[in-house]
Amino acid sequence: MTKTAFVFPGQGAQVVGMGKDAYDTFEGARSIFDKANEALGFDLKTLIFDGPDEQLKQTANTQPALLTVSVAFLKLLEGSGLRADYVAGHSLGEYSALVAANVLSFEDAVRTVRARGLYMEQAVPSGQGAMAAVLGAEREALASLCEAISAEGSAVELANVNCPGQIVVSGTAAGVQAVVERGKDEAGAKRVIPLEVSGPFHSSLMKPAAEQLASILAEVEMKNASIPVVANVTAREEVAGSELRKLLVEQVYSPVLWEDTICYLIEQGVDTFVEIGSGTVLAGLIKKMDKSVRIISINNISALEALQVN
């Protein structure tokens, strides 16, 4: 019995022009972009299609933009007859998963992620936080190094456990710089690459943003999931709306356990992963974990048409 998971990308997958072919071709996609503009009160659609790139990259714009594109393609997939047994999303992508599972309405989700992006940008003054991608290190060794550096007074933590050999760390600028300097010798890293980001996401420094987000989410209706959602914070499935609300708040300052999420889904018998939205970042991560599973990326109309032919 084959099982399918729909997975949704997070920040970093954005590109100017994403989703335009869907908007131009299908009324169902058009309605999602138009709903986003209406819910937010500004022209997100034009920013997505025409840029400028610098403006699209701003966290408070990137988050609603990626959500909108993912949900537009999700709407088109509904016509293909393909159904998900599970859903999951990487960081911001978890909101797309919650729309797919009928936990959140699209309008509530797009307003919430716009606020989430603003709060995340504002949580730590510019230059005080940082993130870096660590390649080739063992997870336990890197966690131990982060604990040692944090104990010395410069907080740094695991932020995204993406796949074996690819982990992102986040924290104070000094803490991340220490990982850059010591990662090879003390954690066996092959490379440590500083990332261009506007804050130390998924670290304890984001707790002020989480508190603000909690007050927004308290006002938003969150239903029980119609499809099990595998949450970033726990890498386990959840259906209760009240629990998913709590996990969204924790997610802001907790590591994204993506490797664990994919392993859990494979353990549940998932053999087909459908990445919905911009880019192929998640497809690349999943391939590194298990080459035997089927991975489909729905990020343009031709991919959608190929799926319907199959």
What are the catalytic residues?
91, 202
Count Cβ atoms within 10 A of the Cβ of residue 290 and give its class: 0-12 exposed, 13-18 middle, 19 or more buried. Answer: middle
Residue 5 pairs with which residues in a beta bridge? 86, 273
Taking the C-alpha atoms of residue 293 and residue 284, their distance in angstroms, rounded to an integer, is: 12
Taking the C-alpha atoms of residue 88 and residue 13, their distance in angstroms, rounded to an integer, is: 16
Q: How far is CA 40 from CA 19, 97, 112, 123, in A?
A: 18, 20, 10, 21
Coil vs helix vs strand at 277: coil
Coil vs helix vs strand at 91: coil
How many CB atoms are closer than 10 A to CB 83? 10
User: Which among 145, 92, 80, 143 is positioned nearest to 117, based on CA atoms?
Assistant: 92
Which residues 6+ apart lie within 8 Å of 76 measured at CB?
Answer: 22, 26, 28, 29, 298, 304
Taking the C-alpha atoms of residue 250 and residue 243, their distance in angstroms, rounded to an integer, is: 11
